[in-house]
Chain A
Amino acid sequence: MSGLRIRDLRVSFDGFKAVDGVDLDVAPGDIRFLIGPNGAGKTTLVDAVTGLVKASGSVHFGDAELLGRPVHQIARMGVGRTFQTATVFEELTVLQNLDIAAGAGRSPWSLLRRRTSVPTVVSEALETINLTAQRDQLAGTLAHGQKQWLEIGMLLVQDVRLLLLDEPVAGMSHDERDATGALLGVVSRDRTVVVIEHDMDFMRSFARTVTVLHAGKVLSEGSVAQVQADPKVQEVYLGQGTRDA
C-alpha cells in the first residue's frame, strides 16, 4: 500500500489562490477526512491531485509524481475519485457502469468483443455496494444514495489504491450514511482513503485522521479529538456550529 504526500501545492484561478501552499501526508491505509468551510479549496485540492486543474508543487503517491500527468494516466496509477454530484453513466446499466470501470486495462481486442460473462471483480463489487438486484437497471433510474454507492463500486473494480471521495454522504438518509461508513471500513482495508465531508457526525464516526482546510491553507491536522479542540478550528466554524448537511 502507498501513501499520499503533497508538498507546497498551489492552484490559482486568474490570480485567486484556491489552494495556497498545502502540505499534506496521508499514511497508507488511513481514512483521512478533509473538512473546511465552503470554498476552502477541498474540491480544488482533489482536482489538482487527479489532474483536472493545473497546479504547482508536488504530489507523490507512493514513489510516483502525479502532477503534470494527464487525468487518465493518473487514474491508471491507481488514483480514483468521486464527485460532489454523483456522476454515473445514466444511460448504461449498473453492470455496464461497473464493467467499464473495471476495463481500463483491457486490450483493444477484448474491447471489440461482447461481454460474455460478468467479471468476478464486478460481481464482488455488486455485492459490496449492495446493488446486485439492480444489476440490469439503468443507472439513471437509481436512487441518489445508490448512485453514490455505484460510484464507489466503480472505484473498487477500477482497483484504485487511493480513493478520493468528495462529499459521499451529502443528501443521504441516516441509514444510508451508516451503510456508506461501513463501506469505507471495508474499502480502506487495503487502500488509502481521503474523504471530503461537511457532515460532522459522519466524520466523528468514521474518520481516523482529519485535516482542516481554510482559505486554501491547512489550518489544523490530527485526530478527530485534537482537531475539535483546536481553537483555530472553532474560530473558523464559529457561528456555523457543526454544519450538518
Chain B
Amino acid sequence: MTVIVSQLFTGVSIGAVLLLIALGLSLTFGQMGVINMAHGEFIMAGAYTVYVLQKVITGAGWSLLIALPIAFAVAGAMGVLLEFLLIRRLYARPLDTLLVTWGVSLILQQAARDIFGAPNVQTKAPDALTGNVRITDDLVLSNNRLFILGLAGLAVVALTLVLRFTSLGRRIRAVVQNRDLAAVSGIPTGRVDRLTFFIGSGLAGVAGVALTLLGPIGPTMGTNVIIDAFLVVVAGGIGHLKGSVIVAFALGTLQSLIEYSTTVSVAKVLVFVAIVAFLQWRPQGLFTLRTRSMA
C-alpha cells in the first residue's frame, strides 16, 4: 500500500517537473502554435542563472529565491529576441520554425559550453530543501520535490489568472482565436505575440531554476527534457492549459509506475506507445479548440 502511495507521489512529482517545463510551451506552442525547439535552452539559461547567482550570493536559499524572477526575465528576454529576429517571419511555416529554432538551440548549447564549460556543474541546494517530510516510516516525501510541486501549482495559478483576468490575457486569447479579427479590432498582434513569448519563455527560465534542485546542470540539459514537454502539450491539446496539467500528471504517474515494475529504458518506450495509443482515441489531444479548419 505505502509502496503504491510513494510511487504515486514520485509520479506526481515527476508530473510537476513535466508540467513546469511544459507550461511555457503550452503558451508558445499551445496558444501560438510556434514550435520552439530552443525552449529547452531557455530552461538551461534559467538553470545557469542560479549557478551564476550563487557565485555572487552565498546563501543558497536567497540565491534560489532571487534567481526565480531573474531567470524569468533572462529567459523571457531571450524568447522575445528570438521571436523578434526569427520566429515572427515564420508564422506561416510551422515546420520550418521547428528546424530554425533547433539551429538556435545548437548555437545556445555551444555558447553555454564556451561560457560555462562542457561538463555538468552542480548548484547548491538550500538546507531547507535537502531534508524530507516523514509521513510514515515507509512514506518519505523529499522537500525539494514538494517545493517543485508548489512552484508548479503556483505557476499554473498565476498563468490562469493572467489569461483569464488581465487585459493582456484577453488579448492573447483574442489573437489565438482569430488573428485577423483581433488585428482589425485594434489589438497590436505583434506586441501581443512578443508578450506571450516573453511569458512562455520566462516560465522556461523558472523551470530551469527548479531543475537545479534535482541534479547537476549542463549545456545539453534542455534537449533531454524538451521532447517530453512537447508530448505533454500535444497530448493535452492545443490552446488548453488544463489539458497540459492533466496530461503532465498522468504521464508522470504512468512513468513512475512503469519504472517501478520494469526499467527506465522500457518505461520510455511504453510511455511513447501509450501516447500514440492515446492519440488514436483523441487525435487532437485531450481538449480541443474548435475552429473551422478547411484549408
Contacts and interface: CB of A to CB of B under 8 A. Distances in A.
A17 to B, nearest CB: 14
B290 A83 contact: no
A94 to B, nearest CB: 21
Interface in B256-290: 290
A156 B237 CA distance: 39
Nearest to B293: A52
A87 B290 contact: no
B290 A14 contact: yes
B239 to A, nearest CB: 14
A53 to B, nearest CB: 10
B121 to A, nearest CB: 50
B115 interface: no
B289 to A, nearest CB: 11
B92 interface: no
A83 B293 CA distance: 12
B294 A52 contact: yes
User: Chain A's interface: helix, strand, loop or mixed, by majority?
Assistant: loop
B135 interface: no
A14 B295 CA distance: 22
Contacts of A14: 290
A109 interface: no
Interface in B236-263: none
B251 to A, nearest CB: 27
Interface in A70-116: 83, 87
A13 B294 contact: no
Contacts of B290: 13-14
Contacts of A13: 290
A153 to B, nearest CB: 20
A154 to B, nearest CB: 16
Contacts of A83: 294
A87 B293 CA distance: 13
Nearest to A14: B290
A13 B293 CA distance: 13
B292 to A, nearest CB: 9
Contacts of B294: 52, 83, 87
B95 to A, nearest CB: 16
Interface string A1-37: 0000000000001100000000000000000000000
A4 to B, nearest CB: 21
Cβ-closest 6 pairs across A and B: A13-B290, A14-B290, A83-B294, A52-B294, A87-B295, A87-B294
Interface of B: 290, 294-295
6 contacts: A13-B290, A14-B290, A52-B294, A83-B294, A87-B294, A87-B295
